[in-house]
Structure 1
Amino acid sequence: MNFHAIRALYKFEMARTWRTLTQSIASPVISTSLYFVVFGAAIGARMVEVDGVRYGAFIVPGLIMMSLMTQSVANASFGIYMPKFSGTVYEILSAPVSAVEIVLGYVGAAASKSVILGLLILATARLFVDFEIVHPVWMIVFMVMTSVAFSLLGFIIGIWADGFEKVQIVPMLVITPLSFLGGSFYSLSMLPPFWQKVALFNPVVYLISGFRWSFFGVSDVSIALSAGMAFALLAVCMGAIWWIFKTGYRLRA
C-alpha cells in the first residue's frame, strides 16, 4: 500500500477545502441554520412533538443527514471531475498508484469534509434546540458510513459526468428530493398507509431513520435494516468503482 500517494491525494483535496471555507463549510452550515429557524421555530411552535420528541429536536438528525449526503456527493464528484476536466487524471493513472489508493485518497478526503461539516451542524443545532444523543457511538458510525457511501457515489458521478451540468444534476434532482421524501422533517407514521409503503422503497429513509434512532431511540424501521441498507450502499458503490477501474470506463481516452 502506497501510503505516501494516499496522503498526497488526501492532503491536496483537504487543502482545497481550507482555501474555500466559505463555499465548503460556511455556506452549508448557514443554510442548515435557516432550516432550524424556519422549521424548528415556525412549524415547531405548531407541531409540538413527533414520536415523543420535540419537533425542533426531531428534525436535527434529518437535516444533518441531508447535508452529509449532498455534500459528500458534491465534494467527491467535483474532486475527481476536475482532474478529468484538466487532463491531469492521466498523470494519476500512469503513476505507480493503485485504484484502491486513488479511491482512498479522494473518497477519504470527501468523507472527512462531510464528517467535519456534520459535527459543525450538530454543534450549531445546540444553539437552537436542546437534545440528547442516546447512542453516540452509533451516531458516529452512521455518520461515517453515510459519508463514505455517498462519497463513493459522488466519485462514480464525477467519473461518469462529461460536463459540469452532470456533476450538479444528481445532487440537485436526485439526492435532495430523496432526502426531503426520506423523513427528514416528518415521521413515516404521519403518512397515509399507502405512502408509508411507497416510502420504504426510498433508501434514504433507512439512513435517516437509523441516524435518528441513534439520537432519540425512536425510528421508522428497525436499526438492523438501517445498518443493512448502509452496508448495501457501500457494497454497491465499491462494486461499481471496481468495474470502472477494471474496464477504464470514462477514464481512458
Structure 2
Amino acid sequence: MNLYAVLAIYNFEMARTRRTLMRSIISPVISTSLYFVVFGAAVGSRIPEISGVPYGAFIAPGLIMLSLLTQSVSNASFGIYFPRFTGTIYELLSAPISYLEITIGYVGAAATKSIILGLIMLATASLFVPLRIEHPFWMLIFLVLTAFTFSLLGFIIGIWADGFEKLQLVPLVVITPLTFLGGSFYSTDVLSPFWKTVTLFNPVVYLISGFRWSFYSIADVNVGISVVMTIVFLSVFLIIIGWIFKTGYRLKH
C-alpha cells in the first residue's frame, strides 16, 4: 500500500473542502435548519408525535441522512470528475499507484467530509429538537457505512459523467426523491399494505430506518436487514469500481 500517494490525494481533497467551506458545509447546514423550522413548526404542530417521538425529533435522522447521501455523492463525484475534466487523471493513472489506492484517497476524503457534516448537523438538530441517541455505536456505524457507500456511488458517477450537468443529475433526480419517499418525514407504517410493500424496493428506506433505530429504537425495517442491505450496496459499488478500472471505462478513452 502506497500510503504517501493515498495521503497526497486525501489531503488535496480535504484542502479543497477548506477552500469551499461555504458550499461544502455551511450551505447544507443552513438548508437543513430551514427544514427543521418549516417541517418542525408547520407540520409538527399538526402531527405532535409518531411512535411516541415528537415529530421534529422523528424527522431529524431522515434530514441528516438526506444531506449525508447527497453530499457524499456530490463530494466524491466532483473529486474524481475534475481531474478527468482537466486531464490530470492521466498523470494519476500513469503514476506508481494502484487503482485501489486512488479509490481509497478520493472516497476516503469524500466520506470524511460527509461524516464531519453529519456530526455538525447532528449538533445543529439538537438545538431545534429534543434528540436522544439510544444506540450511539450503531449510529456511528450507520453514519460511516452510509458515507462510504454513497461516496463510492459518487465516485462512479464522477467517472460516468461527461459534463457538469450530469454530476447533478443523479443527486437531484434520483437520490433526493428516493430519500423523500424513503420515510424521511413519515413512518412507512402509515402507508397501505400495497404501498408499504412498494416502499421496500427503495434502498434508502433501509438506511433511514436503521439510522432512526439508532436514535429511538423504532424502525420500519428490521435493523439487521438494514445493516445487511447497506453492506450489499457497498459491495455492489466496489464491484462496479473494480470493473471500471479493469476495463478503463471513461478513463483510458
1:58 Cα deviation from its structure 2 partner: 0.2
Runs (4 or more) in structure 1 with deviation over 3 Å come to: none
Q: Give secondary structure in 2 for the equivalent of 1:96.
A: coil
Which residue of structure 1 lines up, in the alignment, with residue 94 of structure 2?
94
* In structure 1, C-alpha distance between the alignment counterparts of 2:42 and 2:119, rounded to whole Å: 24
Which residue of structure 2 lines up, in the alignment, with residue 171 of structure 1?
171
* 1:119-172 Cα shifts (integer Å, max 9, x gaps): 000000011011210000000000000000000000000000111111110000
1:72 Cα deviation from its structure 2 partner: 0.2
* In structure 1, C-alpha distance between the alignment counterparts of 2:135 and 2:90, rounded to whole Å: 44
Judge conservation of contact 2:125–2:131 (CA < 8 Å) in 1: no
* In structure 2, C-alpha distance between the alignment counterparts of 1:29 and 1:190, rounded to whole Å: 29
Segments of structure 2 that go 5 or more residues without pairing to the other structure are none
Q: Please say which of residues 78-87 and 188-197 is displaced more in the overlay.
A: 188-197
User: Counterparts in 2 of 1:183-222, with a 5 A limit?
Assistant: 183-222=183-222
* In structure 2, C-alpha distance between the alignment counterparts of 1:52 and 1:219, rounded to whole Å: 12
1:42 Cα deviation from its structure 2 partner: 1.3
Judge conservation of contact 2:50–2:187 (CA < 8 Å) in 1: yes
1:46 Cα deviation from its structure 2 partner: 1.2
Is 1:46 the counterpart of 2:46? The answer is yes
Which residue of structure 2 lines up, in the alignment, with residue 247 of structure 1?
247
* In structure 1, C-alpha distance between the alignment counterparts of 2:99 and 2:153, rounded to whole Å: 16
Judge conservation of contact 2:47–2:55 (CA < 8 Å) in 1: yes
1:51 Cα deviation from its structure 2 partner: 1.2
Q: TM-score, normalised on structure 2? A: 0.99
* In structure 1, C-alpha distance between the alignment counterparts of 2:222 and 2:126, rounded to whole Å: 27
* In structure 2, C-alpha distance between the alignment counterparts of 1:192 and 1:10, rounded to whole Å: 46
Is 1:160 the counterpart of 2:160? The answer is yes
Is 1:107 the counterpart of 2:102? The answer is no
Q: Which amino acid aligns with 2:94?
A: S
1:194 Cα deviation from its structure 2 partner: 1.1
Q: TM-score, normalised on structure 1? A: 0.99
> Number of aligned pairs?
253
Q: Which amino acid aligns with 1:171?
A: P
Is 1:59 the counterpart of 2:59? The answer is yes
Provide the identity percentage.
Answer: 68
Which residue of structure 2 lines up, in the alignment, with residue 181 of structure 1?
181
Judge conservation of contact 2:210–2:223 (CA < 8 Å) in 1: yes
Q: Give secondary structure in 2 for the equivalent of 1:77.
A: helix
Q: Give secondary structure in 2 for the equivalent of 1:251.
A: coil
User: Counterparts in 2 of 1:78-157, with a 5 A limit?
Assistant: 78-157=78-157
1:188 Cα deviation from its structure 2 partner: 0.1
* 1:193-225 Cα shifts (integer Å, max 9, x gaps): 111010000000000000000000000010111
Q: Give secondary structure in 2 for the equivalent of 1:241.
A: helix
RMSD: 0.5
1:176 Cα deviation from its structure 2 partner: 0.3
Q: Give secondary structure in 2 for the equivalent of 1:126.
A: helix
* In structure 2, C-alpha distance between the alignment counterparts of 1:126 and 1:107, rounded to whole Å: 28
Q: Give secondary structure in 2 for the equivalent of 1:249.
A: coil
